[in-house]
Amino acid sequence: MADLTREQKLELYRAMRLNRVVEEKLVNLYRQGKVVGGLYRSLGQEATSIGTAYALRKGDIAGPLIRNLGVVLVMGYSPRDVLTQYMARATSPSGGKDCNLHFGDPQRGVISPISMLGALIPVMAGIALGARMQKKDLVTMTWIGDGGTSTGAFHEGLNFAAVQKLPLVVVAENNGWAYSTPFRKQTAAKSLADKAAAYGIPGESVDGNDVLAVYDVARRAVDRARTDGGPTLIEALTYRMKGHAEHDGQSYVPKEELEAWRARDPLERYARVLAADAVTTAEELAEIDRGVSEEVDRDVEFAENSPFPSAEHALRNVYAEEASAAEPTIVRRLS
């Protein structure tokens, strides 16, 4: 099992709590109309994001999707980055150009996703390829949902990474639903991990709501990647506890299924494990929770006080050189 220090185990707990509290705040802000676009929850999936990303080290590069709030937090982005981004403020990582978790910077270890699912896999393979050519010792990791594994880009990217033996870990989060489409309508495969065999790479399934188990399997995959063992496909079995986005009441989800998974809540479960293993006390966890709440409250205030971007930014940064004016100059004939 996970070879983690007490401090690291508490760090995992704190990250999961932070993930959850940031989202709870976002729900409030969404209801107040302050999140100007959609809100994509990761409730119930926090252990998957955090357990996997925690297996990376400084210098490694992650390519998260919209439900991987925990990943960007582990990689060092702050709640204010996420809050300002959702609230479309000038202070957000994309300066108001893009929404939700669509931000990143290779220098900060995160590559921004696009909405076309699967697209990140070839791109992350390219990150790994470029790094190898530069003799950089780094591992890349990216996330995809059960729905995203049906795309051509998923196949092309994994196949290319396998042929090139690139240091890429692909985490397929099987949360049961792609918007309203259940797993059984997405694939005839029994397990997403089975798909690894087609690429000649290792595939493993893990309980995605057990953060230590997730960390373990991710750590093995990262170590393999770092020692030239090539890519790994991990299936994390978890559950999407909310709709596709905040507007979606998930009426298509069987209530009993939802209740069964609620009992497996990854955060409460981890708190119980920590207490049972005598790693920590209820008081210490409550102290961590208080610290998290204070941090998030400060960042919400920062985000609410942040200005929206000024309109002239709409025309900027299309190219490295600034383009000319958008309005044409009419050439008049001299009479």
Catalytic residues: 240, 244, 252
311 binds another protein (CB under 8 A): no
Nearer residue to another protein within complex by CB, 144 or 206: 144
- Nearer to another protein by C-beta: 44 or 104? 104
With beta carbons less than 8 A apart as the criterion, state whether 148 and 177 touch: no
- Helices 6-31 and 282-304: crossing angle in degrees, nearest 10, is 40
Q: If binding is defined by CB under 8 A, does position 197 make contact with another protein?
A: no
* Site map 164..183 versus another protein, x via CB under 8 A: x-------------------
DSSP state of 105: B
Of 13, 40, 103, 261, the residue at the interface with another protein (CB under 8 A) is 103
Report 142-161 residues binding another protein (CB under 8 A). Answer: 152-153, 156-157, 159-160
Alpha-carbon distances of 131 from 121, 148, 191, 265, rounded to whole Å? 15, 25, 31, 37
168-174 and 181-182 strand pairing: unpaired
Instruction: State the Cα angle at 180 between 179 and 182, rounded to 5°.
Output: 105
Residue in 97, 165, 220, 226 binding another protein, rule: CB under 8 A: 97
Of 5-13, 133-141, 210-218, 283-291, which segment contacts another protein by CB under 8 A?
133-141
Rounded CA separation 125/123 (Å): 5
Cβ-based nearer residue to another protein, 157 or 230: 157
The span of 121-129, 234-242, 251-259, 266-274 binding another protein (CB under 8 A) equals: 121-129
- The maximal CA–CA distance of the chain, rounded, in angstroms, is 92
How far apart are the C-alpha atoms of 295 and 293, rounded to whole Å? 5
The enclosing H or E element of 18 equals helix 6-31
- Which residues form the interface with another protein (CB under 8 A)? 93-95, 97-98, 102-106, 111-112, 114-116, 119, 121-131, 133-134, 136, 152-153, 156-157, 159-160, 163-164, 317-320, 323, 328-333
